[in-house]
Amino acid sequence: MSMTEVGLRERKKERTRHALQREALRLFTEKGYAETTVAEIAAAADVSTKTLFNYFRGKEDILFAHRRQRIDVVEAKLAEHTATLSPRDALLATANDLLHLLLEGDSGGTGAEQIAQGRLILSVPELRGAALSLLHEAQLRLATVLHNAYPGVLTQAEAAAAVGALIGAMQSAGLSAILPSGSTSDAYAAAREAVRVVTRGLDGLPHA
């Protein structure tokens, strides 16, 4: 198979993935999360149920798969920054990377689609629980990277506290903006303001 054929195949797969995510969000919004079936999502995206399961494990995975991918990206960014920056500056650089992903959009869709996903997750108790579990996983992974990058400088507790303060504040501030306005720019501004507030606490971390 030529490189051109591989590229076409990958683009087709990405289009299918995005179609499934887009149609799932539409149906969840129109019918309700619990009331929407996997078969309905597949039909709306013009694929078979079997094809849907080639991409996602189920309804919850359709909503959270890109968030798991985002954790991988942010984890890699933090590891990259710790190679040349202080703990404080590495965390702040990673926060800026995350803000850029949220503003510009990524595999989870456009900023508006991500806002719609956020509002949906907040409205469904089981999805809120899944989101909280994923947040804990992300914080643990980032704290481990931070701690391992600065042996003898940061304890595990210090690394966990710093990551938790920053990521937790960004999420809480962003969610506080999603509910009243549903604006991508408002959520971004709120998360950036959270970074500014938390930075004062991060100043207690080693700078070099």
Q: Are 157 and 146 in contact (CB under 8 A)?
A: no
Helix, coil or strand: residue 2: coil
**Can you tell me the distance from the alpha carbon of 155 to that of 136, in angstroms, rounded to the nearest whole number?**
18
Q: Which helix (H) or strand (E) holds 19?
A: helix 3-31
pLDDT of residue 190: 83
Q: How is residue 41 written in tokens?
A: 């999502």
Mean pLDDT of the chain: 87
CATH of 58-202, picked from 1.10.357, 1.20.144, 3.30.1360, 1.10.3470, is: 1.10.357
- What superfamily in CATH does domain 1-56 come from? Homeodomain-like (1.10.10.60)
Tens-digit pLDDT profile for residues 20-74: 999 999 999 999 999 999 999 999 999 999 999 999 999 999 999 988 999 999 9
pLDDT of residue 30: 94
The contacts of residue 21 (CB under 8 Å, 6+ apart) are: 62, 66, 108, 109, 113
**Can you tell me the distance from the alpha carbon of 208 to that of 84, in angstroms, rounded to the nearest whole number?**
10
pLDDT of residue 206: 67
Tens-digit pLDDT profile for residues 83-142: 999 999 999 999 999 888 877 655 556 667 777 888 898 889 999 999 999 999 999 999
pLDDT of residue 119: 85
pTM score, whole prediction: 0.83
Q: Is the pLDDT of residue 176 over 80?
A: no
Average pLDDT, stretch 162-166?
A: 92
Give Cα 135 distance to the centre of its chain.
9
Tens-digit pLDDT profile for residues 139-161: 999 999 999 999 989 999 999 99
pLDDT of residue 202: 77
The domain ranges of the chain are 1-56, 58-202
pLDDT of residue 118: 83
Q: Predicted confidence band at 1 (pLDDT cuts at 50, 70, 90)?
A: low
pLDDT of residue 175: 73
pLDDT of residue 177: 73
